[in-house]
Amino acid sequence: MFGFPLAAALIGAVFAVVVLRQYAHRRRAYQLSWGLALAMFAIAASFETVGAAHGWTPLTYRGYYLFGGVLNVGWLGVGSIQIIAPGRPGRVAAWAMVVITVVAVPGVWLSSIDPSHLAAAVPGRGTIGSPAILLAPLTNILGTIALVGGAAWSAWTAWRRGSAPGLVTGLALIAAGAFVVAGTHSYAQTSAVYAVQPLGEALGIAVMFCGYLVVEAQRQSHAGVSRAALG
């Protein structure tokens, strides 16, 4: 079981480095939000790898739940809002997520853990109690809507404008990858088949990374054509 979360952790870490390096050069707010979110995804997957390989403890589950269950989807959603509405809506979303993050750290740490669930390869619903359990639906539902919806809307509008096929494909892949992660988590929680979560995380983040690379390749190609046209 630990192979899938390990792959997700490695892909997420590389993805985070790529996006944060771009932020260092271009200083776009969404790149910072996405870079931080992807780093949190990698950290959560690392906790999941340790838990799957050596057995879960309250510490490893709290780390996994904080960075993966509460924070990373919310920050990915903030990045999507900052792309679609980079003005006041993006700033409000970012500050709201900052407040949630500050509340989530002690909230997850102080929440009760049911040790009977920690024997499973992937601990499921009921492992952690309040107040942590109240935060995850808020950030995951709103963050997923912003992330998947934003990527899908961007792909649709790019297609309608007749943009380059690479841009449309890349945006569609980002939307599809985010949907895979969210979909497998939702399926796991509703069906109690929790083993699909690590697979969905690894597959989804890989598809998102491929989509991001396609979009960046298209952007760089367009920039190169523009520079050539200017002489």
CATH code (residue 22): 1.20.1070
Is residue 102 included in any domain, yes or no? Answer: yes
Evaluate whether residue 231 is within a structural domain.
no
pLDDT above 70 (res 18): yes
- Please report the sign of the dihedral spanned by the C-alpha atoms of residue 112, residue 114, residue 119, residue 122: negative
Give the closest residue to 66 by CA, choosing from 15, 140, 14: 140
Where residue 134 falls (left for φ over 0; alpha for ψ -120 to 50; beta otherwise) is: alpha
Say what the pLDDT of residue 94 is.
93
111 within domain boundaries? yes
Average pLDDT over residues 169-178: 81
Under the banding of pLDDT at 50, 70 and 90, the label for residue 227 is very low
Residues 38-61: what's their mean pLDDT? Answer: 92
Show the domain range for 222: 3-226
Proportion of the chain above pLDDT 90, given as a percent: 33
Neighbours of 157 (CB within 10 A): 13
pLDDT greater than 70 at residue 167: no
Specify if 222 maps to a domain: yes
Predicted confidence (pLDDT) at residue 226 exceeds the cutoff of 70: no
Residue 82 CA to residue 180 CA, distance in Å, equals 22
Please report whether residue 150 resides in a domain.
yes
What is the average pLDDT value for the chain, to the nearest integer? 84
Q: Which of 149, 169, 174, 173 is nearest to 159 (CA)?
A: 169
Is residue 163 pLDDT above 70, yes or no?
A: no
What is the domain count for the chain? Answer: 1
